[in-house]
C-alpha cells in the first residue's frame, strides 16, 4: 500500500510503498536509546518506491554492537525520525510506523526482534513471531 509520512514539524515529507501486516517491533538497546522509549515499530519500504518529497534529513551513522553501520535520518529542526537504511546504495528504507499517516491502516506486527531486551512491563504481542536477538 502507498504511504506517506513526515517529521513532527513537517519540514520533511516522503512517500513509499509498504506491505500491510509486516510491521517489525524491535526491543534492542539501540532502538530504545534512539527512540527514547521501550521499543520501535518499523516497516520496510523498497528503495525504488521511496521518495523524499520535501526537506533534507540530517544523517547519523550508527555503529551497532556487531560493527554494522546504519544511516539514521532525522529532521535537523524537530528531531523527528525519518528512516534508517544501509550506508551504501540502500535496497530498502526502514520507516518508523508512528511517523506514517497511514499507521492505523498498516495492520499488525508480524515479527518481534531482540525479545531478550524487552522491558518486563511491556505486554507480549500475540501472534507476532518472537526472535531473541538479531534475525
Ligand atoms: Zn521536522
Ligand atoms: Zn532495534
* Closest ligand, as measured to the CA of 112: 2
Distance (angstroms) between ligand 2 centre and the Cα of 35 equals 10
H-type helices in the chain, by residue range? 29-35
Q: How far is CA 52 from the centre of its chain?
A: 16
CA 72 to CA 102: how far, in whole Å? 21
Question: What's this model's pTM, rounded to 2 decimal places?
Answer: 0.94
* Closest ligand, as measured to the CA of 113: 2
Query: CB–CB of 61/53 below 8 Å?
Result: no
pLDDT score at 114: 97
Q: What single DSSP character describes residue 100?
A: B
Query: CB–CB of 114/132 below 8 Å?
Result: yes
Average pLDDT, the chain: 96
Distance (angstroms) between ligand 2 centre and the Cα of 49 equals 23
pLDDT one-digit tens code per residue, 63-118: 988 899 999 999 999 999 999 999 999 999 999 999 999 999 999 999 999 999 99
Specify the CATH class of 2-55+94-130 in words.
Answer: mainly beta
Whether the predicted pLDDT of 135 surpasses 90: no
Distance (angstroms) between ligand 1 centre and the Cα of 34 equals 16
CA 105 to CA 130: how far, in whole Å? 23
Each domain of the chain, given as residue ranges in start order, spans 2-55+94-130
Query: CB–CB of 14/6 below 8 Å?
Result: yes
Distance (angstroms) between ligand 2 centre and the Cα of 51 equals 23
Mean pLDDT of 20-30: 96
pLDDT score at 113: 97
CA 1 to CA 3: how far, in whole Å? 6
pLDDT score at 43: 98
pLDDT score at 64: 85
pLDDT score at 61: 97
Distance (angstroms) between ligand 1 centre and the Cα of 5 equals 11
* Closest ligand, as measured to the CA of 54: 1
pLDDT score at 128: 96
Amino acid at each position: 500500500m502507498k504511504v506517506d509520512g513526515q517529521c513532527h514539524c513537517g519540514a520533511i515529507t516522503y512517500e513509499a510503498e509498504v506491505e500491510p501486516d509486516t510491521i517489525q517491533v524491535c526491543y534492542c538497546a539501540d532502538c530504545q536509546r534512539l527512540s527514547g522509549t521501550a521499543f520501535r515499530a518499523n516497516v520496510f519500504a523498497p528503495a525504488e518506491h521511496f521518495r523524499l518529497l520535501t526537506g533534507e534529513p540530517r544523517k547519523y551513522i550508527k555503529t551497532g554492537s556487531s560493527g554494522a553501520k546504519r544511516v539514521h535520518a532525522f529532521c535537523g529542526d524537530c528531531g523527528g525520525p525519518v528512516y534508517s537504511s544501509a550506508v551504501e546504495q540502500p535496497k530498502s528504507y526502514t520507516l518508523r510506523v508512528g511517523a506514517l499517516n497511514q499507521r492505523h491502516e498498516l495492520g499488525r506486527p508480524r515479527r518481534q526482534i531482540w525479545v531478550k531486551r524487552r522491558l518486563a512491563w511491556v505486554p507480549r504481542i500475540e501472534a507476532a513471531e518472537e526472535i531473541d536477538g538479531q534475525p
